Chain A
Amino acid sequence: EDKVVQSPLSLVVHEGDTVTLNCSYEVTNFRSLLWYKQEKKAPTFLFMLTSSGIEKKSGRLSSILDKKELFSILNITATQTGDSAVYLCAVDVGTGNQFYFGTGTSLTVIP
């Protein structure tokens, strides 16, 4: 059975801290791994990773994939209150839009 596991389930940090969110997966047909940010409503796209060892970066956020060890991490440096959200990891396993999602990591950034 395909599964995606995220850790930790929740995290509370102070502004300026650096956080690392984890995502491990066991799937039969890996195509890509995606990170989304969800603030109350629709998930918004952050990164798509298909190749091992290549870091994707956008401002203070970065992510990397390890296809050998079957995990990905999402790093957020110099956190801000606007980073407070649920971060979702999803693995694309099929012919299109077939995502298996983890349960998410709830991040709270305190001023």
Chain B
Amino acid sequence: NAGVTQTPKFQVLKTGQSMTLQCAQDMNHEYMSWYRQDPGMGLRLIHYSVGAGITDQGEVPNGYNVSRSTTEDFPLRLLSAAPSQTSVYFCASSYDRNTEAFFGQGTRLTVV
């Protein structure tokens, strides 16, 4: 049972480039979300989804897009990377709204 899988683990982008961070879970969880973790600021919610076809914005959504075409996958897209998006990104999933979230191992993104 792989749990929550994020790819890639590390990425360096140039300002203005685009990329997609992948997140997949094999636990049949309905709820998925993306967080970024910056020093001194804790984890902040970017976007979340309560089921396939449904997404919504979190605390810091600007510069990021998401889609949820299947229950298993929840990719995060950076359309035009900026140095302010340098961070560690975590994907999380949970079975329902009353259970804990499981986190992926994170993607460390550097934008130069």
Q: Is the CB of B43 within 8 A of A99?
A: yes
B-side interface mostly: strand
Distance (Å) between the CB of A58 and the closest chain B CB? 13
Q: Is the CB of B104 within 8 A of A99?
A: no
Q: Is the CB of A31 within 8 A of B97?
A: yes
Q: How many A-B residue pairs have CB under 8 A?
A: 68
Interface range for B? 20 to 34
Q: Is the CB of B100 within 8 A of A45?
A: yes
Q: Is the CB of A96 within 8 A of B43?
A: no
Stretch from B15-23, B30-38, B77-85 at the A interface: B30-38
Q: Is the CB of B106 within 8 A of A41?
A: yes
CB closest residue in chain B, given A45: B100
Distance (Å) between the CB of A96 and the closest chain B CB? 4
| Chain A: interface residue total (CB-CB under 8 A) | 24
Which residues of B53-112 have CB atoms within 8 Å of chain A's CB atoms? Answer: 58-59, 90, 92-94, 96-106
A42 in contact with B97 given A96-B30, A96-B50 (CB within 8 Å)? no
- A residues contacting B by CB (< 8 A) are 4, 31-32, 34, 36, 41-45, 48, 88, 90, 92, 95-104
